[in-house]
Amino acid sequence: GTVVFLIAIYVSGEIARRVLRMPSLVGEIFCGILLGPPLLDDFVPNPEAWVMFGELGLVLLVIEAGIDIDLSTLKLIGTRGFLIAFFGSIFPIGIGMLITWMLNITDTKGILAAGAVFGPTSLGIALNILRNGGVLNTPVGQLIISAAVIDDMIALVVLSQLEALGR
């Protein structure tokens, strides 16, 4: 079961890359959705273990993003990158909170949770696409990755506050 699942993910990625001329990640995500719990719950072997692998992969992805950031380019980006990340995170979180408040939801945890949903970026997708496009080590690529890392850190702070309110 596990080998079939991994082969299906790989083949889907290759089909997306070669036939559809899209990043392989698109095919891999589509395959995960298709073979995942919502549609074929019994096909995915030991789904709890896959969630654990996903969480481990997320930690490794953030480490990889940190390794891929060029500090000399980051110095050139400096304040601009931080401001892009800050407003790129705070603005969506604020919009989510505002929409929730406008829907007359007054629970602080509910408002914060709705805002937190809009905060994180997809660092993994950005990193993958920039690397495959050969622009990861350009100033624009470094700006995007730096902003995404800072953006995700801001989102983690908001989510940790949500967890603290839950206690």
Q: Is the pLDDT of residue 18 over 90?
A: yes
Helix intervals (H) in the chain:
2-18, 24-35, 37-40, 47-68, 71-102, 108-117, 123-132, 139-165
pLDDT digits (tens, 9 = 90+) for 71-130: 776 677 777 777 887 888 888 888 988 999 899 988 888 888 888 888 777 777 788 788
pLDDT digits (tens, 9 = 90+) for 42-74: 666 676 777 787 778 777 877 777 777 777 766
pTM for this structure?
A: 0.63
| Cα–Cα distance measured from residue 129 to residue 118, given in angstroms and rounded to the nearest whole number | 21
Give the pLDDT of residue 1: 65
Q: Is the pLDDT of residue 155 over 90?
A: no
| Cα–Cα distance measured from residue 30 to residue 121, given in angstroms and rounded to the nearest whole number | 19
- Does 25 or 165 have the greater pLDDT score? 25
